Amino acid sequence: MSDLTGELIDGRYQLLRQVANGGMASIYEAIDTRLDRKVAVKIMHSHLAQDEAFVSRFIKEAKAAAALSHPNIVAVQDQGWNQSGVPAVFLVMELIEGHTLREYLNERGRFEIKDAINYLTPILSALAAAHALGIVHRDIKPENILISKEGRIKIADFGLARGELIGSTMTAESSVILGSVSYLSPEQVQRGVADSRSDVYAAGIVAYEMLTGEKPFSAESPIQIAYMHVNEEIPRLRSKRKDVPQALDDLIASSTAKNPDERPRTAGDFLEKLQQIQIDLDPRKNQMDLGLDLPVEPIREKARKKVKEVAPVEITAPVVETTKEIRRKEEKKQRASKRVRRNRKVALVLAVVLGVGGWWTLVGPGSRVVVPSVVGGSFDEAVSVISPLGLNAVVVENRFDEEIPKGKIIESIPSGGGKVDAGGSVKLIVSKGPERYAIPMTTGLTPEAAQVAIKKSPLVVGTITEVFNSDIPKGFVISTSPASGTSVKRDTKVNVLVSKGIEQVALASYLGKSGEQALNELTEAGFTVEAGYAFNETVPELAVISQNPAGGASANKGGKVSILISKGPRYTYIPKTVITMEANAAKEMLESLGLKVKVVTIGNNKKKVVKKVSPVVNTKVKRGSLVTITVG
């Protein structure tokens, strides 16, 4: 956006200089020409002024801050749309001349403990005022904390604020996270949900940074930092700085807990605990809330001087009045009478107004009590907050909720910031937690019985599929998907798997076929194969002699099949060709016949050939018998 320095906005605000420029707007130092005072004017960038959502959020910022009156919150004075010059949506605020807390951190590094507490006190005081009205800032960070030249601390930029007084600028459904990632609470990162405890978390991170001089997490990208806030614990202060009191370390640890329920519920609770620590550190210190101005004494009216009484003067001489003088006195008397009657009427009207005003304030609608925000807390916590106001807490509904834990409050009627008659009731809707139903145990039931069991919960029976199964008898349920015992949402489809029993497979006959072939094919068909070996005079070696069950029968898939494989004939003959064979060749041939061979060497011939064999050639011998060959 181009620099608008020198422009007159709305015929009233003369822009002197640009002091800041952000992604959404620019801020100018300006003169209010009507009241002759300096102000800060925030002007939305022109390209965003065409977007209704951005304009709406910009206007809500004005309403958010205007709803708050606190010495530590930047006051909003005006808001509008410039029509007389450059088109611009603008917001007018008090001008704070000074620096941000970020600049102090950059210059000083970590703070002394007492200084850090003195800075935190007004910050928490301002947030406590906002939380009391049901307003959540949602973007607490050092850049939004201003320190004036006079030393007064101011919280700025309620552009992300949310509450009953201003509506909502960010919803869980939109899943848009607008705050600075280093100060975002885990629930803002995960669900886009924020309440007063999210501000407490951010204030705790700011306190951590003031006391240590560094942020708790650092990484190369914002998404990594966000992930660390969700999944890792904030380091303890005393691990970084040994002189931090244990009580202060515990308070900052609780305020930055990942679980919102473990944090102080509001900035007011945080402030109360911090002030107690401050008193413990220095009991002699005059505990004055730095977040408040000193009270101004009312102006007393000056006492009226008593009118001196004048003694009556005795008239001794006769008074002669003319007709003209008498008429003038009568007219004067009539005017006085009219003035008395008018004054009486005014007094009557004032009395009525005062009476109605007193009734409004003490008895009528004006006496209504502002309801604090209790969403996210337990019923007991809500009672402890609501009862001191003279109100009753009544649970009117228990409702399932996917985000709010069981036993926590989802909603109050009226909601935080709303009003209710004195002595009235605040209706509470309490979470039953996520709506979940356990899948019943159906294994071993009939399909009909399984469907009845499933339909007892608000679940839907899905597909029923039959498959072979070796463990569950035919016609009974094997399992469900999702599995039994699983917790699922309402109307989840539950698919049922029913057994067709053990699969039957027809066996082929492998008699006379290769034993290797039988082993491979039967194993692939899903059978467990037991193979035995035996001599056989008629079946060739390594061919199947027998099988059980026999070929052509049906057998259970996965069942056992036994086969007997031939080792060949039990007897063999010593061949004639062994004589004169080279020694090694003769030995190998005899061994191939299933015989054991002993070699006896004679003579000195280099080439050893068989000279003799025992038993002699053509002798019938059992396989495994010993044959001796003499070579030389």
- Residues tagged active-site: 139
List the structure tokens of 581: 């064979």
Determine contact, residues 184/192, Cβ cutoff 8 Å.
Answer: no
Q: How far apart are CA 472 and CA 466, in angstroms?
A: 12
- Which stretches of 363-456 are DSSP H helices? 379-386, 447-455
Q: Look at residue 18 and give its three-state secondary structure.
A: strand
Q: How far apart are CA 631 and CA 423, in angstroms?
A: 125
Determine contact, residues 618/574, Cβ cutoff 8 Å.
Answer: yes
Q: Let me know how long the chain is.
A: 632
Tokens 């848009």, located at residue: 176
Q: Look at residue 237 and give its three-state secondary structure.
A: helix
How many Cβ atoms sit within 10 Å of the Cβ of residue 547?
Answer: 21
Q: How far apart are CA 198 and CA 258, in angstroms?
A: 10
Amino acid identity of residue 104, one-letter, is: Y
> Rounded to the nearest 5°, which phi and psi values hold at 530?
-110, 120
List the structure tokens of 591: 């061994």
Q: Look at residue 5 and give its three-state secondary structure.
A: coil
Which letter does DSSP use for residue 203 in this model? H
* Sequential DSSP letters for 35-77: TTEEEEEEEE-TTTTT-HHHHHHHHHHHHHHHT---TTBPPEE
Q: Look at residue 13 and give its three-state secondary structure.
A: strand
Q: What angle do CA 429, 197, 273 make, to 5 degrees?
A: 120
Residues 455/457/462/467 CA torsion (nearest 10 deg)? -80
List the structure tokens of 144: 């939004």
For 333-364, give one letter per residue: b (16+ CB within 10 A) or e.
eeeeeeeeeeeeeeeeeeeeeeeeeeeeeeee
